[in-house]
Structure 1
Amino acid sequence: MASLLSPESLQQIKRLDLRARMVIRGFLQGLHTSPFHGFSVQFSEHRRYNRGDDPKLIDWLVYAKTDKYYIKRFEAETNLTGYLAIDLSQSMGFTDSQSMNKFEYATCLAASLTYLMTMQQDPVGLLTLGEKVHAELPARSRRGHLGDVMARLSQLEPTGNTDLGACLTQIASMLKHHSLVMLFSDLLDDPEQVLASLARLRHGGHDVIVFHILDEAEVNFPYDGPVQFEDSESGETITVDATGFREDYLIQLEQFRSVYREKCSNLRIDYVPLDTSMPFDAALTEYLMQRQARF
């Protein structure tokens, strides 16, 4: 199933809604036949038993299947308002492979999560991030809204510059009720400003998931000899000896990711590092593993 949910395979499917449906059906089918079966139960109708919960609420049938304590979620707990926050910076359009670029990967993952949340009747809204935030679609849970989100995601293109820190600060001031903010970005901005804005979101009482999406080439740096690189947003070029530069580059990349991993952990923000070669079921499982560890 993993091969069917790879970016290369899904790229053959042009309609975003069909991609998302295939990802979620394959993902849920995989959960039911894997050691992570408990995740699918928790993600839909149940939550883990916490100290202080009434033991009478434990679902013993689920315990028999998973060997873990879950309680049935109340109706008020199941309705979580989610917002997709999509980075429209031109750098998101970069790719150096035959697979999806970062933006296509982001929109496919966002569409899949929309499909999953709609199955749970959770409202989902769409925000796009450029030099300022654009509220593309309000958060709704009606059946027809799924099609609206898919259609709008299919129309988006990564163009221009993005002030990620300012946009996240704007989102923090926009949202008046507890929400789940799902950020899809390559985070190619000032980390200090971005993290300060993420902190404002958390201090505002919102849950945050950061999907840090990089191109496969940005992660593996498969270059040799003299190579000219161009900044996709400024147009500036630089020529480097890729062979001699690779080790320093990979060290700096790991440091970049480590800063976000550590700071997000301190803020109780889920940080999910991805690249465009990762199958979508693996990306979703990585997310669920981190949510499970935190809760």
Structure 2
Amino acid sequence: MTTRLSTAYSPCPNDTFVFHAWAHGLVPGDLAPEVTFADIDVTNGLAERGELDVLKISYAALPYVLDEYALLPCGGALGRGCGPLVLTGPDAPADPAALAGKTVAVPSERSTAYLLFRLWAAQAVPGGLGEIVVLPFHEIMPAVRDGKVDAGLVIHEARFTYQQYGLRSLADMGEAWEAATGLPIPLGAIIARRSLGPERLRGLAEAIRASVAHAWAHPADSREYVLAHAQEMDPAVADQHIALYVNDFTADLGPDGYAAVHGLLDRAAAAGLVPATAPGALDFPGAAAG
């Protein structure tokens, strides 16, 4: 008998590419998703309220939900060279210290992007930031271009399109993170209810890994699904997006992936930005014994 799991992930190309096969019954197993599409800020809130079975959330939100949800070892977004960017207008100073007292637009105060930005700014902007304004990510670049904010923290495909707005990159949060730690950048996590139990969690991880493998082996299968949800994104940009965010860490976090997650959450907790993570809280309950 098939078990239906209430599931939420974003309409971004990396998520639709990864989950297409699972969502369309193309992988083995008796677990199937009932999919809701929502931006990451919404899924973070759904997780904190414990409303769904399986979600894609920001790693920055993970410490707040680990009592109820387990981190899955696959399906998420980590990588190198894929960090958020701080953008400014073409005439703004190139020195990050000039952001002191300035207004910065961010996509969410509970996002990994904002957490990386705060860790970076604590060192790079000794005078302290000014007002932080939360905007939907697609509104940030126009706001910087139009002078409504002094700078913007951008994610996703904005890495490939910000020059079209006449903007420049002041700093790359991923480069700063990698230079400081040598670790990949943890961005988005896949979580599932602990109450599903080890056997179902293991089956869920197997289904997601199979979905990733299918996506890589048969990329044309997911094309219509990806573009249908890509918010009128140029197909070439969608391809760049997938190539950047779907990688070996998507198939399995592995030691480097787990080290990156621990590194981010431990540094953020030490800075008082997130609650401390209890020992063992990131361990996967569905891992095979022995």
The normalised TM-score by structure 1 is 0.29
TM-score (norm 2): 0.29
Structure of larger gyration radius? 1
